[in-house]
Structure 1
Amino acid sequence: MSATDYHHIVVTDDTAAAGVARSELQPILQKLLTALEIREKYMHRSLQRFPRSTAQVLREVSGRSWTEEQDVQPEFTCYPADVLKALSVEGLPDDLSYGLEMRNGIITLLDSAGNLYTPASLHYPDHSEYTKDLKSVLELISNGPLKTYCNQRLKILSSKFQLHLLVNEKKEFVDLQVASHSDFYNVGKVDTHIHAAACMNQKKLLQFICKTYERDSERVVQEAGGKKTTLRELFQCLKLNPDNLDIDALNMHADRETFQRFDRFNEKYNPVGANELRALYLKTNNYINGEYFATLVKGFSDSLDDSSNQFAELRLSIYGSRPTEWEDLANWFTRQEVCSPKLRWMIQVPRI
């Protein structure tokens, strides 16, 4: 079945339908182009992909020339062996002759002569350029006519799509049956905004806690005030018996009581309400160097390996509580070898 067999919906003048007078349309569209240009600039500087068709339109509107080289973006597909080789610190000198300095609230990299160092492949904006772009974006966000236009346009697009479904849904379903290996289960899927400490489900975490207690009950897992504590002693101190633990006792499910209550939501990351177990099982920096947490993350990545088209984006937090926090997190990542071709990582800085 060819595409010509589909019914096409054409709205002759959807700008008028958006509730904006033609006299107001030109400045509104100019603001939208400004927003797209800012987005394109910062996506390219952070080595992210920008839609090719949108970039071509922006160049046509602005009169800039288009070259194929401008659209080339680096690939970020890595496999464990390549990643481990790239992360290796063998053979590096003790001092790379670089320094860090705070300038205008931004940590800058300096070379051995004390001058600003910028890698040739990256083009960081200076402070004045960034603040200028930020001011432009904030002005766009608070612009009343622009917000009205965008809201109406989204409603029009949604209505056009619903109308398309009404007249073409059955024909598309027939096409899907004809095309092999193109159903939902064969499409690549990425789970985003997953906190690494919540990547496993409650059952897997409970099973892992019970397993480690059976296997490592006499292992030293904590040290406070010069006193070392074994796993068995830790559970005894918390008055917990792993044999009696269940999912309800674990109490890590975000229910209705956590909606709009970040304090309650944050408490759900404590197994059995014990902060000591969170530090042991769900933290990268502890007495056992985050070994248990790494094992849980590896178990999650192994489950993704069973599916050829499922990926995930995990988040780790930097709280700014210690000068060595970045280095400690990097050491955990390389020491425990948690990299996987199915995982990408985000570093988040919580508002607290």
Structure 2
Amino acid sequence: MESQNKNEEQKPPNPNRFSEKREPNSAGGLKDSTTSLDAVNPFYSSQMDRQSFTQDGAYWAHRGSRGASERDFALSRNNSMSQEIQELSLAEKMANVVGAPVTSESMANPRTNIDSNELAKELQDIFNAMEQCIHLRSDYMHLSLQCPGDNPKDLDNWDIYPKPPAPSYPPKVDSNGNILPQEAEEVFDFATVHIPEKDGLLYHITNGVYNVYGSEDDIVQGKEMANVPTIKKYYQDLDFMQNLISDGPSKSFAYRRLRYLESKFQMYLMLNEYQEMADSKGVPHRDFYNVRKVDTHIHHSACMNQKHLLRFIKSRLKKNPDDICILRDNKYLTLKQVFESLNLTAYDLSIDTLDMHAHKDSFHRFDKFNLKYNPIGESRLREIFLKTDNLIKGKYLADLTKEVINDLEQSKYQMVEWRLSIYGRSKDEWDKLAKWVVENKLFSNNVRWLIQIPRLYNVYKKSGIVKNFQDVVTNIFEPLFEVTQNPKSHPELHVFLQRVIGFDSVDDESKAERRTYKKFPPPMEWNIDMNPPYSYYLYYMYANMASLNFYRQRRGFNTFVLRPHSGEAGDTDHLSCAFLTSHSISHGILLRKVPVLQYLFYLDQIGIAMSPLSNNALFLTYERNPFHMFFQRGLNVSLSTDDPLQFHFTKEPLIEEYSVAAQIFKLSGTDMCEIAANSVKQCGFERQIKKRWLGDNFDIAGVVGNDIHKSNVPNIRVHYRHQTLMEERVMVLSTLRSMKEEVDKQTPKPHSNYLPVEPMLEHLVLKSPSFYGGSPKNIIGKEESFGSSQLQALNLNGPALPVGSGGFSKGSFAAVSMIAEREQRKLGVDSVLDTNFELEEDADDIWD
């Protein structure tokens, strides 16, 4: 017996143990392997891990020698292998890889306890619920005219005044080949601006929401011209979303898909990182420093760094000490007297005495952070230097703003979207702000504006400024309806609004929101001291903006979008509210805790302007920030600075934000250029300017819309992002699944070196997942058809094409085919895709 055991111990291991065939056992797994290793250790050992890693390295190194066209499209290959793997049970898969007997009961019998019909029904329920959420958002976006193509300023004939400078390259030359001097930039002159006449439509507020009417009789009868969702429907839709994001199976599904997307991107980088580097090196002139990048979330009163503000204060104290700048206790004080009352001189001032940087004492203390806006802790200095409405009419802040604008224009490739505050305390706030901008000529081709509305009703109510919440709504929106009806009543405001992108809602999200009402009262009846919840604020901002956009679009004026702070802290329902009502959001770090909502943000590619340095000082340490995770998973994220005065040290805070992220998260040049391109797509600059920055077809999804010579993002990266997104959308959204089936029926199957025209509809029609309100329903039609106006929005030369109504019909397919053929002729290539890409498999690969 001992000799027999000894012989068994000396028996050499089976060299084919990873591929030996074993019969299934009674439990549904496989019989034990005969290898000695399995008998000793049934688990996946570190030795096996090293061995498989070595084999994988050799395999992928060998694959690296394949041609570029094969490598580019290798992401969706090996269908036959995947089909074979799908037919194996989980136990068979594990046993074949590990070579070990099945020891877990759930692994040994993976299918006996799960009804496949139940699983399919559960998944279908999840898909239906997610699709309904996407459609809800689509409806809200369409009703508020926040979709691309809704804003008149996105038309190519929109007049931007002052005009942006002409491109400096290639330089203009005369008939003799001599380079002509560049034209001087146009200077703003208010006297030359055309102010339109008064319009005959009327407006009226009902239950806190303004609407547009054709006549006085229509107001009496309630015949509203703009279709705005009621607050009842809003809260019903919000409850539906809250139920979905708290559903267990939905959370599990979304979490697994997000983890899969993250792992898939990491695998993609392992295979294609060097190819991306080679593609980027082949692009002349472009690198990270000279691609356009937009700071999509920055507050104007903190747009400079501390050193800049300190230098400005010192210069004014030395050059203009006798300027009368403030009224205190019925006495006018000069700048010199103000500093004497503080026992300070210009020599005493330093960064430390200003004390405006957010240090450790501000972490989870938003109240202390707000105090950082006061230089030297004195509110009077904030009023003098950082306010637009003061005794000197914001002169110092205007001068400081001009210096920051000059720095931006010198950098050329950095743009900002500054937030200015409207509080809702009085109706004349808009006129004061507009006159400050217009009279100081604060117009720049690098700057656009957003209006931030702080949620401070409780403060105004306690001080007696307002009687109820409707007073706040009236103070904010009535001047906007007035200037839309009759621009000559507020000419400066009309001019200023042409450079305004949209609205933002700001305040401390971490404040507790108590639900004291089973049913919230209308704004006229909200007369208590308690502040309304975030969802209440956002609805009345959205509803009034929706009817205002209807009126402004009708008059040919630019419309607005809603881009609130959301998901920085507080409840997760803030993100649900923003998902329904907002074009994009700022912060969004709480999405890491809500996988379903995070997955929906991915599917609809909702823009998220993230500020890791700001979060690091206030709510979340840098290493825990989900920005890099969101980026890897494919969410539409960009980097922004929030408050350079509190969080940054250098003259170029946006570059500082990118540089820190690149070091901490090990971002490559391609990563940073992709993030910069995301910021341009999210921003509110005019479409004709974006075309100059990213290319004429920037709003077409996929490789067709990418111009590597302007974005410096390789086509292979763009193709991966688009292909992966389409896979997820086809899986979840039934309208896209039905469209795929229809394309499958109508698409020929021969092997070809170019893409057939009709499957290219996803590249030509799906400009982005949210191009027509973020829902394929509005692309292929459940309730609306893909009409001629949408075809014209593709910006392809040629007349509008008549298409059938009620769905994506044969006529629609013919229309898209004609568009694709015309695009091929315009690009002069065999394929609508880039010439570097060649398909060797069926056209169905586009859906894989």
Q: TM-score, normalised by structure 1?
A: 0.78
Paired residue for 2:276?
172
Instruction: Please point out which of 52, 75, 83 is paired with 1:9.
Output: 75
2:16 alignment counterpart = none
- Look up the match of 2:357: 253
Decide which of 378, 396, 416 is 1:292's aligned counterpart.
396
Contact 1:80 1:341 in 2 (8 A): no
Farther off after superposition, 208-217 or 135-144: 135-144
- In structure 2, the partner of 1:345 is 449
> What one-letter code is carried by the residue in structure 2 that aligns with 1:40?
S
Based on CA coordinates, which of the two structures has the bigger radius of gyration? 2
Q: 1:335 aligned to 412, 432, 439, which one?
A: 439
Query: Could you say if the C-alpha distance between residues 72 and 244 of structure 1 is closer, same or farther in structure 2, counting changes exceeding 3 Å?
Result: closer
Q: Mind listing any 5+ residue stretches in structure 2 that lack a counterpart?
A: 1-66, 91-117, 164-187, 457-848
| Match 1:38 to one of 120, 136, 157 | 136
Residue matched to 1:27: 125
Residue ranges of structure 1 left out of the alignment (5+ in a row): 51-70
- The whole-number CA distance in structure 2 between the counterparts of 1:115 and 1:299 is 51
Selected match of 1:144 from 229, 235, 248? 248
Determine the C-alpha separation between the residues in 1 that align with 2:189 and 2:146. Answer: 23
Q: 2:413 maps to which residue?
A: 309
Task: Measure how far apart 1:293 and its partner are.
Answer: 1.4
Report the 3-state secondary structure (helix = DSSP H, G, I; strand = E; otherwise coil) of the residue aligned with 1:167: helix
Contact 1:104 1:127 in 2 (8 A): no
Q: Does the alignment pair 1:81 with 2:153?
A: no
Q: Which amino acid aligns with 1:38?
A: L
Output the CA distance in 2 between the equivalents of 1:276 and 1:31.
Answer: 53
With over 3 angstroms needed to count, the CA separation of the structure-2 counterparts of 1:225 and 1:107, relative to structure 1, is: farther
> What is the one-letter code of the residue matched to 1:41?
D
Note if contact 1:80-1:340 (Cα within 8 Å) is conserved in structure 2: no
Shift of 1:338: 2.1
Q: 2:263 aligns with which of 129, 135, 159?
A: 159
Task: Write the distance in 1 (CA, Å) between the matches of 2:451 and 2:331.
Answer: 33
Judged with a 3 Å threshold, the aligned counterparts in structure 2 of structure 1 residues 132 and 334 are, in CA distance, closer, same or farther, namely farther
Question: How much has 1:197 moved relative to structure 2?
Answer: 1.0
Where 2:357 maps in the other structure, the secondary structure is: coil
Q: Which amino acid aligns with 1:208?
A: F
Q: CA deviation at 1:112?
A: 6.8
1:312 aligns to what SS in structure 2? strand
- In the TM superposition, residue 146 of structure 1 has moved relative to its aligned partner by 2.4
Superposition deviation, residue 218 in structure 1: 0.8
Shift of 1:33: 1.8
- What amino acid sits opposite 2:209 in the alignment? I
Question: Deviations along 1:121-146, whole A, 9 cap, x unmatched?
Answer: x7644545544444444444333332
- Would the alpha carbon gap of residues 274 and 87 (structure 1) be closer, same or farther in structure 2, given more than 3 Å must change? farther
The Cα shift of 1:72 comes to 7.0
Specify the code of the residue in structure 2 equivalent to 1:344. R
**Aligned partners of 1:187 and 1:309 also within 8 Å:** yes
Mapped contact 2:211–2:224 kept (Cα < 8 A): no
* Structure 2 CA distance for aligned equivalents of residues 187 and 240 of structure 1: 44
Confirm or deny: 8 A CA contact 1:9 1:160 kept in the other structure.
no
Matching residue within 78, 81, 106 for 2:209? 106
Aligned to 1:349, the other structure's residue is in SS state: strand
1:204 equivalent in alignment to 2:308: yes
Which residue does the alignment assign to 1:277? Answer: 381
Q: Which residue of 1 aligns with 2:366?
A: 262
Distance 1:335 1:180, change over 3 A: same
1:97/1:48 CA distance change after superposition, 3 Å:
closer
* 8 Å contact from structure 1 (residues 221, 229) kept in 2: yes
Instruction: Report the AA paired with residue 6 of structure 1.
Output: D
For 1:331, what is the secondary structure of its paired residue?
helix
Residues 97, 40 of structure 1: alpha-carbon distance in 2 compared, 3 angstrom cutoff = closer
The separation in 2 between residues aligned to 1:309 and 1:140, in whole angstroms, is 42
- In the other structure, the counterpart of 1:63 is none
The Cα of 1:108 is off from its aligned counterpart by 4.5
Report how far residue 288 of structure 1 moved. Answer: 1.0
1:237-286, CA deviations, whole angstroms, 9 ceiling, x for partnerless residues? 12221222111111111122212110111111111111101011111111
Cα gap change, 1:130 to 1:279, in 2 (>3 Å): same
Shift of the 214–97 alpha-carbon distance from structure 1 to 2, 3 Å rule, reads: farther
Contact 1:312-1:342 within 8 A present in 2 as well: yes
Would the aligned equivalents of 1:191 and 1:311 in 2 still touch at CA under 8 Å?
A: yes
TM-score of the two chains, using structure 2 as the length reference: 0.35
What is the aligned-residue identity percentage?
37
| Paired AA for residue 168 in structure 1 | N
1:86-109 deviations in Å (ceiling 9; x for gaps): 99696877x9995653x2233446
Please report how far the alpha carbon of residue 201 of structure 1 lies from its aligned counterpart in structure 2 after TM superposition: 0.5
Task: Sort the Cα spacing of 1:344 and 1:27 in 2 relative to 1 into closer, same or farther, 3 A.
Answer: farther
User: Alignment partner of 1:81: what SS?
Assistant: coil
Change (3 A) 1:9 1:282: same
